[in-house]
Structure 1
Amino acid sequence: MANPNAGGRLLPLLSTPHKGGRSALTCQFRCGNACAHDVANTTGNAYFGDVVKEALSRRGVLRAGALGALVAGVGVAGAAPALADEPETAAAKGGWHGGGSGDLRFTPVPPNTEDALRVPEGYKSSVVVRWGDPVLPGAPKFDFENQTADAQSKQFGYNCDYVTLFPMGRDRALLWVNHEYSDESLMFRGYTSGATATEEQLKIGLAAHGGSVVEIERSGGSGEWKLVTKGRRRYNRRITAQTRMTFSGPAAGSDLLKTAADPKGRTPLGMLNNCAGGTTPWGTVLTAEENFNQYFVNGDKVPEAQKPYITRYAITIGTPSDNRRFDRIEERFDLAKHPNEVNRFGWIVEIDPFDPDSTPIKRTALGRFAHEAATTTLARDGRLVVYMGDDSRFEYIYKFVSKDRYIPGFDRHNRTLLDEGTLYVAKFTGDSPATEIDGSGKLPSDGEFDGSGKWLPLVSGNKSFVDGMTAAEVLVYTRTAADKVDGGATKMDRPEDVERNPVTGGVYVALTNNSNRTPAQVDEANPRPSNKHGHVLEIVERHNDAGEKTFAWSLPLVCGDPSDPATYFAGYDKTKVSRISCPDNVTFDKDGNLWISTDGNAFLTNDGLFVMPVKGKERGHLRQFLTVPVGAETCGPLVTEDQRSVFVAVQHPGETDDATPESPSSRWPDGEGSQPRPSVAVVWHGAGKKIGA
């Protein structure tokens, strides 16, 4: 670790040990240094390999087939799902064709530590929008030395994460971006801790959270997009930690959500730590609140009956962290005074980008945890399905299936679908003898890490499937419910983004890493102890139907250096692939190729964006498409439907252990003499070709 006192200031918050490729600053401000704390899930639930083998066949109808056409992709709101080949037909053809099967032609970007956004030869990149750029009318030009909370509430927020696009014709669109967290040590000169920060700095930090809607336009018919800076820009909007919202669904109005300021338990204030997300078929954003636990103090002073539940969400019991002390300006963050306030965070929030006056909705039917992703699709019978991950070590993967069906064009009906349905948690079973999973990463005798699984119901409307818990308790304390449900939900290695392939229908989960996995916990779906590089999981549901309760799974990618025998690239020649570590966000292009962004890779080089075909002879041929600047992680990403542009959110550039505003480790994106600014960038081919062609 670099000297935490560099730059002539004391940074006690950096003294806590951290793991992996992230800097201590990132660990502290992004997730409250979660890896340095005890694992929140101390239940006896099984890991993959501990589960008794079930009778489901991995080679039968659960294994082949896929549901096509992801409904919630860019610009396809309201589209009907197109079905791919039936399982037997696909098997007879020797595999899938036409979906994510390759035809990607570019020279991979080599690993590097440059303070730049590097793209392949023939490609160009530019910044679309930066931290501090004006969003709302009256917003001043960004001035690092003279920031105010009022200005920040009208300007583009800090660390950008999830990115999605809503086309308004061919050459104009609305861009939605999450603002996950603030890093006050890089935002302000002389910052030491939340305990000594000025009140204005704390208010700026709150205003820097949330999300932004901005209008963008295509530049000269190319793949470049730019921020619209002139004209009315009627859709531009800032959501912050102080925006008035509403609860909907079965837990709305529950005693668990009531506070002194909101005795009815229906009007929460703001959203925090929004990471990944999704879109709906009716054209709204679903944004995921993740590491909300770190914003609260005095967890040891909540009522005794509440303590087991808040510790399950890693709320500090004991001395409050001086990382952020928002309780100094808003007492709702002090759990000694408002113990239920913490229950009002950790939700999926729905926002209408086309109505800047609309009230954001926290959808309680989707459960409460460290949400990562909210990817929607349709079941065969038209019900809406939402896939979600819980981004912490040894946490779970979830799915919500609506009670009623989606009706194209019936907006008033469709906007009720997220309020009633069944919330499930995933259970996975390996199919190889335990003796063949020895921790070396060697493939079992059947040649693949794979198996079968079930979706276990937790709650449906007001009916709980968890003994001793009401429906409201299941939805507010979803982690505890998943621990207790009959059948045994499966502990995972930090389930982050979950996305569905629009061509094959396979569901892909980024499992970022888990350095806490011990040799005794190694199993077929987590084949290595101290899993510092992570892996990608593929789920194929029965009968190609997202509404089904059983599935097959496999690991097409076990990350790391290809020269390491404990890596796997879907059987592709490992001498021809790029190395990859810590998969975070994933997406697909229109052809069904898998795009993977990384966060905190363990190689100590810059993070990047990678692409890998998932079918055909090129399956597993992973290549690095771009790298981000020093200290940054790659977020987003988004490939436009016409495949002429790739958007990435460059989060926390310059967030390294020795960085200060006086001595920044990055000058991206504005160059010499500037401070690093989290930004959304776009990449396109200089000759107007399709991305990857």
Structure 2
Amino acid sequence: MRDLLPLIGPTGSHPGGRSAMTCRYRCGDACFHAVPNTSTNEYAGDVIAGALGRRSMMRAAAAVTVAAAAGTAVVGAGAAPAAARTAERAPGAAPESFTGGRAARGLRFTPVAPNTADAVTVPEGYGQNVVIRWGEPILRGAPAFDPDRQTAAAQAGQFGYNNDFLALLPLPGERGRQLLVANHEYTDEILMFKGYDPAAPTREQVEVAWAAHGLGVVVVEEDRRSGRLTAVPRHRLNRRVTATTEFEVTGPAAGSALLRTSADPTGRKVLGTLNNCAGGETPWGTTLHGEENFNQYFANASRTTDARYGIGTGATERKWERFDQRFDVAREPNEVHRFGYIVELDPYDPGSKPRKRTALGRFKHEGATIRLTDDGRPVAYSGDDERFDYLYKFVGSKRMRHGSSRAAREHNLTLLDEGTLYVARLTGDSPAIEIDGTGRLPADGEFDGGGTWIPLATATAKGAVSHVEGMTAEEVYVFTRLAGDKVGATKMDRPEDVQPSPRTGKVYVALTNNTNRGVGSNAKADEANPRNANKHGHILELTERRNRADATSFGWSLFLVAGDPKDPATYFAGFPKDRVSQISCPDNVAFDPHGNLWISTDGAQLGSHDGLFGVATTGGRRGELKQFLTVPKGAETCGPIVQDRRVLVAVQHPGEITGATVENPASTWPDGPGRIVRPAVVAVWRKDGGDIGV
């Protein structure tokens, strides 16, 4: 296994659009390390496509599907419009309205032009407010935020740092109020503490960081006249979950010897959750949270399995191992196996214990989103946010029970413990010679093909069965990446958020970027990841056979290939490219009430700050993409929620620019000069009280 020491120093230029400081604190300089996936998986299209035409290719793809998973034949995604020609427009100008008619319902706003303002910029006619900031008290007894006198006890009762995923849930019986659930992904100590010394953090600083990680639940209230949304402090449902909160491990790996530690010989109790990125809501009223770059918190690794998960061989950036031995792999080798799962939280029960769902596998989960099968079983989709890693699906075996009875709720809280975990293999339908790594469309006018869900393991009430030769079921659930390697899953360009459309059932996957694609000995471009040195990313649209969530085969196409619309290597579902906004590095995705897909970006590389975009997925306007907002300097757009009358975004890591400190800030958002930069949640609404984009 290759050395995991940084190839480039943490203050150097990042190959993507993020600042080196963001890479340092958010993901432990993941892109400066050797690619963890060194498997030799061949892309199925490379094996088959060379000398075959389209029809022969599809017959061969179907044969691969049957051989790999004993499933039904692959169904292609169908023909697509030819590539639209690009027209010139002034750099930085917002696209004009499409002359063919009005924009799709929900997208009728004047697009925000690309910009670098140190502010949240919204369309003309829209207002905004900060809903809640890092450090604002939400629990009874928590003090007001004082950046000069931070304590772990205070932070445990205050809103956490670096909000990411957001969910807004109904609050029956409290008119005008909703329940906001947020992830607190990571901490950036240089922007939190005056005089912070990265080489010698204090115990108090480390314990504040522990308390600033995790999850937050806070009731919010709307002002029907203005559209503002504000937090309700000290509500009985408000809650903080931190890096020291006790969790229950459930599912097939619970109790495994691989999860047992000196502090927990049962392998069923874990303290805390780390690096929660995106998430999802369940139909039974809970929220799901993905533990993503957990590897960066653990020091002194030496095993091959640790290397596959990107766990370093030396000290960590935050030095937590100095204060708690569980973060030292050399002293507590199994603690790291207890992170990298999907966490389920019941936000309506502040006394409930959060659960880590091992049946969904262990990897760098961006999040997990749920749809139900025709007979009411849950299906969870999740991307592994790493260069050349995989797309997964879990299909539950038990049906959801409707109703609010205690029996129904207790039953539904077991739905993600039994079922089958799958990984995706994709096959292109174009000859390999037409996929040249430039992003040029193949002769049929679209990047598309078919694929199969390959079973990895099945969990039942009586035990679990592995479908991967040479691995036990426990090993599949704890070392899921290795299982994907063994069955030949398709290496993707950082699969992040995954969202099924509530209207069409199609599944959309954000693939943020992969500047290592086709570089050196790394995997070259394929039809599902068609650009070498891919710095802008793309959106995959997946259609499962007969639109069944439990299908084992699917068709797919690239719905959007991001970048400057003037670049021939971009594609917007065939929509005229002189009528769309530019977009780079799609990350989180969500649907609005009209069926439009909304995309937030992370690390945009087109000279503008990150932002939020809406795009039509159906009808004559399909592919029309419009920018709705941009975020401040150094920030990332996270956790988008689009309701009828309101849009919410989590503004994460504002001011996170290399060289910035508390004393020398790079941003003055959200409170202006002389105040500490603070991540926050922002609400946007129409000033006239109307619905968004209509």
Aligned partner of residue 138 in structure 1, secondary structure: coil
- Aligned mates of 2:12, 2:465 — CA distance in 1: 43
CA distances 1:40-62 after superposition (whole Å, capped 9, x unpaired): 00001124642434525899965
- Spell out the pairing of 1:107-256 with structure 2 (5 A cutoff): 107-169=110-172, 170-193=175-198, 195-229=199-233, 233-256=235-258
Which stretch shows the higher mean deviation, 411-420 or 179-188?
411-420
Shift in alpha-carbon separation, 1:54–1:380, aligned structure 2, 3 A: same
Give 1:336 deviation, angstroms. 1.2
- Provide, for residues 354-379 of structure 1, a one-character-per-residue CA deviation record: whole Å limited to 9, x for no partner: 11110000011110000012100111
Q: CA deviation at 1:157?
A: 0.5
Other structure's SS at 2:398 match: strand
Question: Unaligned 5+ residue runs, structure 1?
Answer: 1-11, 66-99, 301-306
Among candidates 419, 434, 437, match of residue 421 of structure 1: 419
- Contact residue 62 and residue 550 of structure 1 kept, 8 A: no
Q: Distance in 1 between matches of 2:138 and 2:78?
A: 47
User: Contact 1:14–1:657 (CA<8 Å) still a contact in 2?
Assistant: no
1:629 partner letter: P
Letter in 2 for 1:525: A
Seen in structure 2, the aligned counterparts of structure 1 residues 228 and 299 have a Cα distance that, compared at 3 Å, is same
CA contact (8 A) 1:293 1:314 kept: yes
**For the residues of structure 2 that align with 1:368 and 1:259, how far apart are their CA atoms?**
17
The equivalent residue for 1:346 is: 340
**Cα shift readout 1:636-678 (whole Å, capped 9, x = no counterpart):** 10112xx101110000000001211111111111112111100
TM-superposed CA distance for 1:692, in Å, is 1.2
Q: How far, CA to CA, are the matches of 2:661 and 2:9 in structure 1?
A: 14
Alpha-carbon contact 1:49-1:525 (below 8 Å) kept:
no
How far residue 440 of structure 1 moved from its aligned partner, in angstroms, is 2.5
Match of 2:370 among 376, 380, 385: 376
Provide the C-alpha distance between the structure 1 equivalents of 2:409 and 2:352, rounded to a whole number of angstroms: 15
Residue number in structure 1 paired with 2:549: 546
8 Å Cα contact 1:606/1:630 also seen in 2: yes
Matched, 1:594 2:607: no
Distance 2:347 2:47 in 1: 44
Q: How does 1:122-521 map to 2 (within 5 A)?
A: 122-169=125-172, 170-193=175-198, 195-229=199-233, 233-300=235-302, 307-317=303-313, 319-321=314-316, 323-409=317-403, 410-461=408-459, 462-485=464-487, 488-518=488-518, 521=524
* Deviates further, 408-417 or 535-544: 408-417
Are the aligned partners of 1:535 and 1:555 in contact in 2 as well (CA < 8 Å)?
yes
Partner amino acid, structure 1, of 2:612: L
Matches of 2:455 and 2:662, distance apart in 1: 49
Q: Alignment length, in residue pairs?
A: 633
Q: Deviations over 1:544-599 (max 9, x none)?
A: 11110000000010000000001101111111111000000000001110000000
3-state SS, counterpart of residue 439 of structure 1: coil
Q: Is the 8 A contact 1:29 1:183 kept in 2?
A: yes
Mean Cα displacement is larger for which, 504-513 or 162-171? 162-171
Does residue 668 in structure 1 map to residue 669 in structure 2? yes
State TM-score, norm by structure 2.
0.89
State the SS of the aligned residue for 1:508.
Answer: strand
Q: Distance in 2 between matches of 1:682 and 1:239?
A: 23
Pairs within 5 Å for 1:13-28 = 14-15=10-11, 17-28=13-24
Contact 2:75 / 2:554 at 8 angstroms: preserved in 1? no
The whole-number CA distance in structure 2 between the counterparts of 1:604 and 1:148 is 38
CA 404–51 in structure 1, closer or farther in 2 if over 3 Å, else same: farther
Aligned partner letter, 2:680: S
Contact 2:11 2:658 in 1 (8 A): no
| Secondary structure of residue in 1 paired with 2:306 | helix
Percent identity over paired residues = 59
Residues of 2 paired with 1:388 and 1:269: CA distance? 23
AA partner of residue 424 (structure 1): Y
Q: Counterpart amino acid of 2:216?
A: S
Tell me: CA distance 1:51–1:400, structure 2 relative to 1, closer, same or farther (3 Å).
Answer: farther
- Give, in whole Å, the separation in 2 of the partners of 1:179 and 1:346: 15
What is the aligned partner in structure 2 of residue 91 from structure 1?
A: none
Query: 2:106, 2:692 within 8 Å by CA — same for their partners in 1?
Result: no
- Counterpart CA distance in 2 for 1:556 and 1:671 is 40
Distance 1:47 1:224, change over 3 A: farther
Deviation at 1:474, TM superposition (A): 0.3
The residue matched to 1:320 in structure 2 has which SS?
Answer: coil
Q: CA distance change for structure 1 residues 377 and 330 in 2, over 3 Å: closer, same or farther?
A: same
Worse overlay, 441-450 or 645-654? 441-450
Q: Note if contact 1:274-1:290 (Cα within 8 Å) is conserved in structure 2.
A: yes
Instruction: Say if 1:354 and 1:51 are closer, same or farther in 2 by CA, change over 3 A.
Output: farther
How many angstroms does 1:412 deviate by? 2.3
Q: 2: distance between equivalents of 1:414 and 1:238?
A: 23
1:34 to 30, 40, 44: 30
Q: State how far apart, in whole Å, the 2-side matches of 1:528 and 1:346 are.
A: 29
| Contact kept in structure 1, 2:21 and 2:658, CA below 8 Å | yes
Query: Equivalent residue of 1:690, what SS?
Result: coil
The SS at the match of 2:638 is: strand
Letter in 1 for 2:653: H
Q: Is the 8 A contact 1:464 1:471 kept in 2?
A: yes
Moved more, 386-395 or 16-25: 16-25
**How many Å apart are 1:223 and its aligned residue?**
3.4
Which range moves more in the overlay, 554-563 or 217-226?
A: 217-226
Which 10-residue stretch deviates more, 611-620 or 42-51?
42-51
Give the secondary-structure state (helix, strand or coil) at the position aligned to 1:656: coil
Partner SS, residue 372 of structure 1: coil
Q: C-alpha separation between the residues in 2 aligned to 1:60 and 1:364?
A: 29
Q: CA deviation at 1:414?
A: 1.8
Preserved contact between residue 292 and residue 366 of structure 2 (Cα < 8 Å)? yes
Secondary structure at 2:484's aligned position in 1?
helix
Per the normalisation by structure 1, the TM-score is 0.89
Asked if 2 retains the 8 angstrom alpha-carbon contact of 1:178 and 1:275, the reply is yes
Report the secondary structure of 2:262's partner residue.
coil
Q: Which amino acid aligns with 1:344?
A: R
Show structure 2 runs of 5+ residues with no match: 1-7, 49-56, 66-72, 80-102
In 2, Cα distance between the equivalents of 1:388 and 1:54? 27
Is residue 399–residue 425 contact of structure 1 (8 Å, CA) maintained in 2? Answer: yes
